[in-house]
Structure 1
Amino acid sequence: MKPLITSLFILTSLLTFGQPTVTYHLSFENASQHEARIKVQFNQLDNDPLLITMSRSSPGRYALHEFVKNVYDLHAFNAEGEELKLIRKDPYSWELKGHNGTVALHYTLFANRADGTYSDVSESHAHLNIPATLIYAPALADREQVLNFNLREDLKWKVATQLVKEDEDTYTAPNLYYLMDSPVEISDHEVRSFKIDGPQGEQTIEFALHHRGGSMIFDEFFEGVKKIVTEEIAVYGKAPEFDYDRYTFLGCYLPWASGDGMEHRNSTIVTSSRELTSPEGMRNLSTVAHEFFHAWNVERLRPKSLEPFDFQKANMSGALWFAEGFTSYYTNLILKRTGIIDEAAYLESITPTFNYVWNSPGRQFFNPVEMSQQAPFVDAATSVDPVNRGNTFISYYSYGHMLGLSLDLSLRNNGKTLDGYMSLLWEKYGKEEKPYTLENLQTTLAEYGGKALAEEFFENYVYDSKMPDYNDLFSLVGIQAQRNKDRAFTGMTVNNSVVSNYPVIGGPAAQAGISKGDKILSVNNNPVDNLHTDDFTKDMKPGQEIILEIERYGQKITKSITLGSDPKYTLELMPIESEKTGTARTSWLGAQSEK
């Protein structure tokens, strides 16, 4: 029966679409086993052999993921239904010879991870990230791409996507690149929408949510979404021009989803295991704020180093401290400006990031540009060998977050704002989708905030790893950064009497020769059991010596540690003592959309 089915599929595709297209048909009869059955139609082919391949990376991800590992039962046929030989050229590509101008490809995809990178097929939904789902022909990248879904009516499935809707089960993309950037959520989901003013007229913001919380809690959540969208438009002064006048959030908040967010040109995936009905459910608005900000910063205001995105290799950029990091800075700032969180919660949210960045020994090895270039090794990348990243790497999300904070406060000390800088970058580069370089970021900052400020920021904090004078910067808005210098510090983490981290380079434990995996048997000759980090430092002071008996590779060793001073800062909102401070804080943390 397989040749007959193949011939009918080819004939239907040719009659229906006429013009050269690439047509995909996806069905989900075996969803209970996480399988999708996919058929691909390539017709009017001029090139023989035809090269077909599977993506190795995905938009918004910078590491390799080798999606082809989840493809099996792959077969190819010509127009007569005769099976063609698949010649494997490398782990992710095949050649097809002698096809006589038409190829129908059949395969099974296994998919069992609902997040922004992979696909998930179950009787809950078909959650499809296209690079993780579809085999494609690079030579046919300019053709219109057609997706036909065999929807599970028994599960009340419907489609949500940024793709162009032709009918209830057929969607199109103008080319392969747009298709690869267009995730799909097929489920029994709810939809909410509202209108915004776009550059060329009215546009629609819609949120398709797959969840179990019911309509009322979705309504409450969506009110937060509307506030976020409105405040982020206020940063740039105008919304992007969305293709087809529509932007779609594809939300999946279910226990079996993996927490993630992934931006795309006219949509974003937001997933979480936190259901809206849980006490933490509204925290999902944080990802909404981050991903929608990417509609400007990354999707249109885009680094030249990521343009165009290459689906066959790791994509490296030295600008992620800005593209991802400045977006991270705005994430919780937007939540504060909308009133979703208050001033105290905002300050509490940035304190761990502040300590992580400025107390990391990684700054002595890489600057923010070089940290960004580490993305292919850390952005959901996997390997089995141990690494020392706790000592050598700082996330470009976090590093850029702190650089955004310092630049914003520096600009405000000079009567400017980071909002103004972002808006100018949008006008110069994002609006016309002209990719920028790091040099462009610096010259635009000089144009906006002055040459001296731009040189200081880039030379000291972007191309070098110096720490800004935050006490000076914070004084403008009435915040104080302080350390408890009387609190003891070892530079190691202990869980159940075992050292669970590589001790901080230069810290007391590292200087004493303590290593990850060491088991602590006694402290100052007192046997211990189930020891944790704070258990043996809470009553001690910096400068004190402690004697540890440890077990390493079956041998007992004695080590002496001289305790240091805890480098952690606390950030504290000070009382507003002047009109200047109050005005500056309100200008920084207050709603911009109301101005």
Structure 2
Amino acid sequence: MNIFSFSSKFVFLLFVFSFSLSSVFAQDDFETTSLSDSTETSFSYSYTLDLTKSKNDKVPVELYFKDLASLELSSNVLEVTDKDSISFFMPKIVPGTYHIYDFGRFLSDFKVTDMAGKEIKYTHPTENEWRFPTKGVYKISYLVDDTFDYKGQNKVFEPGGTDIEDDVFVINTHGFFGYLEDFKRQPFDINVVKPKGFYGSTPLVAAKTNEKIDTYLVSDYHLLADSPMLYSIPDTVTFEVGGAEILVSVFHEKGTVKAEEVAKEVQKSLEAQKNYLGGTLPIKKYAFLIYIFDGFSNSGSYGALEHSYSSLYFLPNMGASRLANTVVEIAAHEFFHILTPLSIHSEEIHYFDFINPKMSKHLWLYEGVTEYFANHVLLQQGLISLEEFLDKMRDKVSEANNYSDVPFTEMSLGCLDKYADEYGNVYEKGALIGWMLDVRLRELSDGKYGLMNLMQDLSKKYGTEQPFEDDKLFDVITEMTYPEIRTFFADYVEGSKELPYTDYLKTIGINTTGDGTEEVFNFGNIGLAVDPETKEVSVFSMEGANEFGKMFEEGDVILEINDQKVDATNFLDLITEASYKEDEEMEIVVNRKIKKRKKTKIKKRTLKSKPVFVEQEQDFGFEEAQDKNEKQTELLKAWEKWEVK
């Protein structure tokens, strides 16, 4: 998951991600007939979601099944015939969010009825559970309220939430559909009754479809919870990459952002990832579901939630070009989840418990390695330079230093509670673990074997339907690679030793930097603020101002720097990346409040001053060595531009 939020004082982006505990069922499992027509199972488990009956942000859901007391259970269903009552559950927590949302709280008018429509009494022991007798039950019905407009506490991050409007339905399936106790692995069908002209964008393939109803056959609840839907008047683009059908679907109420514009940039990114993965993609269909909003979000954030065969984006209207780049930036990470956890995952993920989940210790793999690949693909495919890649890794080192040194496996196991505040480090130190493991494997194999080779081998060994044992993965990887790799995991993943950047990177001719100080331009040492609506940058404090800063006054709105217009989007670039010389005067244009005869007027002023430079310690970083020997040169090439086989 990707979450972005704005600082109220100045502009920065906070990146927090979480990985998808995704369904692990391949798309080959989809059938072409409705369960209601099937004779292979004696248990009919059929949902109807009627979008045409939505009212006041609520929509009715009905679940039909046979008399639970007289089931002749098929061999793949847990034995429940000795029970005289059964529970229906809505998820307490959903794959990918790492947050307890209690989706049961959004249900109302819950009813259990028999074939004649007579209501059967039930109990409601917890917010997410309804318990009732098995005898005579024919239907469960309820209303679902959406989460986008929820005014209470514990707001749902929109990419994992639901929206029910006249012109769009964001159907994160875990918010609409629950499951019966012991029947999470039972197949069933979903019937969506849709308004005229609406189209359902989803990674699922409809078994039946017409102008009024779409029917989806689903292998189990895990697959359903992993398959979001976006129903609206369609704005979609479909294209093929690496043998996979790619769907890009966009909803924007004002209609100024079009799927075609976004799809062009997404396709470029996927072509690079296809090449990185060897020329083909291990999926048949992938859906990018993109909801564009104007104004502010209910949760105060925006971003995306990844799934095995799709990702759902909730993004502000920032213009087609910038929006496309944002989608690509996020998608570079999300799309690599087709490797892990889809093809490589533990039992904790395969048998995910939506009420009392047990965490895996391998977030370094699911999110860290995924984030590393999302950056390395840009280097390997020539989309960024080595220097740019090293800058990205330097930034991750800097961000990782903001977290504690708790062992990564321990943090993974406690990420829901004890170490919830440490979770963001999976995208910082987690990616750095992936980088160092890749370099170490290249060194030990003389450049012939790297991290992607390991992922491909693990995928062949396990695959979508065979999970690994959480406690045995490190030993399995060691058997597949080198004894030294077990020490790597013990020291840097199970242990809390600092990653050995200097020792590892010198093998591929990359040096670490950070000793001494450097002179940098200081913009007056004044306090600056940003208006969240106008994006204007203004001076709010003169405390501590240096010689350059003393030309300003509190309340000055900065309009231009050396003839370049200024706002929140480019201000940081202008004061950190532009080249200024000590002996060359700078011109700053401001709007200044002038008080005269008890009246205040705004006057434009041009301020001039020579820049002031201050010494600061150099940030830790990386740079390519200029005096590499032959072996270092060969290993650098093997790591940087390895050929996919």
Per the TM alignment, residue 394 of structure 1 is displaced from its structure 2 partner at its CA by 5.9
SS at match of 1:84: coil
Equivalent in the alignment of 1:307: 350
Write the mapping of 1:416-495 to structure 2, written as runs, cut at 5 A.
416-430=449-463, 433-448=466-481, 450-451=482-483, 453-483=484-514, 485-486=516-517
Match of 2:369 among 316, 320, 326: 326
Equivalent in the alignment of 2:28: none
Does 1:412 find its partner at 2:447? no
Equivalent in the alignment of 2:620: 569
Match of 1:91 among 114, 121, 127: 127
Per the TM alignment, residue 395 of structure 1 is displaced from its structure 2 partner at its CA by 1.7
Write the mapping of 1:70-469 to structure 2, written as runs, cut at 5 A.
70-97=106-133, 100-112=136-148, 115-153=158-196, 156-168=198-210, 169-187=214-232, 188-194=234-240, 196=242, 203-211=243-251, 212-214=256-258, 216-234=260-278, 239-240=281-282, 242=283, 246-255=284-293, 259-273=302-316, 277-279=320-322, 281-357=324-400, 359-360=401-402, 362-363=404-405, 366-377=406-417, 389=421, 395-414=425-444, 415=446, 416-430=449-463, 433-448=466-481, 450-451=482-483, 453-469=484-500
Per the TM alignment, residue 239 of structure 1 is displaced from its structure 2 partner at its CA by 4.6
Give 1:208's aligned amino acid: V
1: distance between equivalents of 2:382 and 2:165? 38
2: distance between equivalents of 1:396 and 1:373? 12
| Closer/same/farther in 2, CA of residues 137 and 569 from structure 1, 3 Å limit | same
Does 1:44 find its partner at 2:67? yes
SS at match of 1:88: strand
Per the TM alignment, residue 261 of structure 1 is displaced from its structure 2 partner at its CA by 3.8
CA contact (8 A) 1:74 1:107 kept: yes
| Closer/same/farther in 2, CA of residues 52 and 230 from structure 1, 3 Å limit | same
Q: Please give the TM-score of this superposition, normalised by the length of structure 2.
A: 0.68
| Closer/same/farther in 2, CA of residues 191 and 175 from structure 1, 3 Å limit | same
Give 2:58's aligned amino acid: E
In the TM superposition, what whole-angstrom CA distance separates every residue of 1:272-291 from its partner, at most 9, and x where no partner exists?
A: 33667133532322332322
1: distance between equivalents of 2:122 and 2:465? 43
1: distance between equivalents of 2:348 and 2:36? 42
Equivalent in the alignment of 1:57: 93
Larger relative contact order (Cα-Cα within 8 Å, sequence gap ≥ 6): 2
Runs of 4+ in 1 over 6 A off after TM superposition: 13-18, 494-498, 520-524
SS at match of 1:226: helix
Per the TM alignment, residue 216 of structure 1 is displaced from its structure 2 partner at its CA by 4.3
Write the mapping of 1:17-36 to structure 2, written as runs, cut at 5 A.
20-29=43-52, 33-36=56-59
Equivalent in the alignment of 1:588: 639
Contiguous gaps of at least 5 residues in structure 2: 1-33, 70-82, 149-155, 520-524, 530-540, 546-552, 556-571, 577-614
CA contact (8 A) 1:23 1:146 kept: yes
CA contact (8 A) 1:63 1:314 kept: no
Per the TM alignment, residue 589 of structure 1 is displaced from its structure 2 partner at its CA by 3.0
Q: Please give the TM-score of this superposition, normalised by the length of structure 1.
A: 0.73
1: distance between equivalents of 2:618 and 2:84? 64
Q: Percent identity?
A: 19
CA contact (8 A) 2:237 2:263 kept: no
2: distance between equivalents of 1:97 and 1:465? 52
2: distance between equivalents of 1:574 and 1:276? 41
1: distance between equivalents of 2:64 and 2:425? 42
CA contact (8 A) 1:70 1:109 kept: yes
| Closer/same/farther in 2, CA of residues 367 and 141 from structure 1, 3 Å limit | closer
1: distance between equivalents of 2:440 and 2:133? 62
Contiguous gaps of at least 5 residues in structure 1: 1-12, 197-202, 382-388, 489-493, 499-519, 539-563
2: distance between equivalents of 1:311 and 1:347? 39
SS at match of 1:186: strand
| Closer/same/farther in 2, CA of residues 300 and 378 from structure 1, 3 Å limit | farther
| Closer/same/farther in 2, CA of residues 322 and 70 from structure 1, 3 Å limit | same
In the TM superposition, what whole-angstrom CA distance separates every residue of 1:48-104 from its partner, at most 9, and x where no partner exists?
A: 433212111212334422111222232332211222333112221112237514123
CA RMSD of aligned residues (A): 4.0
| Closer/same/farther in 2, CA of residues 352 and 122 from structure 1, 3 Å limit | farther
Does 1:68 find its partner at 2:99? no
Equivalent pairs counted in the alignment come to: 501
| Closer/same/farther in 2, CA of residues 120 and 580 from structure 1, 3 Å limit | farther
Give 2:208's aligned amino acid: E
